[in-house]
Structure 1
Amino acid sequence: MGRVRLWELFSIFFRIGMFSFGGGLSAWIYREIVELRGWLTEQEFLSGMALSQILPGANVSNLSVYIGQRLRGVSGAVVALLALLTAPFLAVIGLLAVYDRISAIPWAAAAMDGVAAAAIGLLLRMAIRAGRQASTTLSGAVALAATFIGVGVLRWPLIPVVLCVAPLSVAAAWPRAPKNA
């Protein structure tokens, strides 16, 4: 694979920003960048996804910056982020002008429900892949299960759960020196 052109990076992130929203964005980015083009490996993408989730700001914006930087440095990061945000910015400005008319159309709500269902499906697909990748070791599987139970089942706040599980997970995964070294 040759060097990714800035125009290619722009067109992919612009299209993603223009035609999707919500949780489905990360899954669509994964499909475009890893599956279709092979610009990043699955492990590189998931590392970027994890990093984008712990940094402040919108996860998908952070992810676009990570991918752009990995592929083309600072200029790639700027291009990917601007491309991702340009279409939604223009769409929000345009929709604001016609909001009153659109909100009165009965099928508009049904269409939005369908789009939301598709985004949830894409997000579940990516979550299953990420879960498989994270649970390849016993410590990863335990951390994944503990986080899921704490947040998903017991409904505890995410930040305290992660603050408790993360140090234990890191300690379990930390490489240990051989005893006879």
Structure 2
Amino acid sequence: MPVSTPEPPSPAQLFLIFARIGLTSFGGGLSGWLLREFVQQRKLMSEEDFLNGLSIAQALPGVNVTNMAIWIGYRLGGRNGAIASWLGIVVPAALLIVLISTAFSALAGFALTHVALAGAACAAIGLSLSMGLTAARRVPRRAFPLAIMAATFVAVAILQWPLIWTVLVAGSLSVAVSYSRG
């Protein structure tokens, strides 16, 4: 019996999915939400496709989650899907940020406000760590990809070299070697 693939969402559905994600999550954990939504729950793409898209989104200039929304939208709905996904992840969240910043200005003097923000930051870090571990699990267990991963970590986190140059050099080297291996 053949396995049926789910019907891709319409541009309006993509807008609503990304609006919900953008309004209910924040910080570095958005990639984790996208992984759960499109790979694990809706099964609209494979984990490998998602991680490939995440790599592209992180390599491009701009906000990773916005790049990822455009990439997912395009993959699932073409140009209209990309536009709808971009609008969904940006516009509702931007409006909410304006409202929250107005409220925060009024509540900044209360200690509970700072405690709540610290707790939210911890949750976002946990989601980012989860996404990083998922991606690291998928790195081929060969010496070269692991060396590139380790060298990038050392260069950015420990030596504090500029991210742009580290990504350009390590990324170019990694792409060239992967390409030459076929």
TM-score w.r.t. structure 2 length?
0.88
The aligned runs of 1:63-78 (5 Å cut-off) are: 63-78=68-83
Q: Give, in angstroms, the shift of residue 49 of structure 1.
A: 0.9
Match of residue 21, structure 1, among 26, 32, 56 = 26
Note the 1:1-181 alignment, pairs <5 A: 1-176=6-181
After superposing the two structures, state which structure 1 stretch, 52-61 or 161-170, moved more: 161-170
Q: 1:87 to 1:167 in 2, by over 3 A?
A: closer
Looking at structure 2, the residues matched to 151 and 4 of structure 1 have their Cα atoms a distance apart, in angstroms, of: 38
Which AA in structure 2 matches 1:77?
A: A
Secondary structure in 2 aligned to 1:23?
A: helix
Secondary structure class of the residue paired with 2:62: coil
**Within 2, Cα distance between the matches of 1:73 and 1:151?**
35
The CA distance in 2 between the partners of 1:106 and 1:87, in whole Å, is 28
- Once the two structures are superposed, residues 63-96 of structure 1 have per-residue CA deviations (whole angstroms, 9 ceiling, x without a partner) of 1000000000011111111111122221122234
With 117-126 and 145-154 compared, the bigger mean Cα shift is at 145-154
Q: How many residue pairs are counted as aligned between the two chains? A: 177
Point out the more displaced range, 17-26 or 166-175. Answer: 166-175
Structure 1 residue 25: Cα displacement: 0.9
Gaps of 5+ in 1: none
Closer/same/farther in 2, CA of residues 175 and 124 from structure 1, 3 Å limit: same
Question: What's the offset of the Cα at 1:3?
Answer: 2.7
Name the CA shift for 1:157/1:28 in 2 (closer, same or farther; >3 Å).
same
Superposition TM-score, scaled by structure 1 size: 0.89
RMSD: 1.8
CA distance in 2, matches of 1:142, 1:108: 42
Change (3 A) 1:176 1:116: closer
- Give a deviation string over 1:118-170, Cα, whole Å, max 9, x none: 11001001101111212433221111111111112222222222233223323
Rounded to whole Å, the distance in 2 between the matches of 1:157 and 1:145 is 16
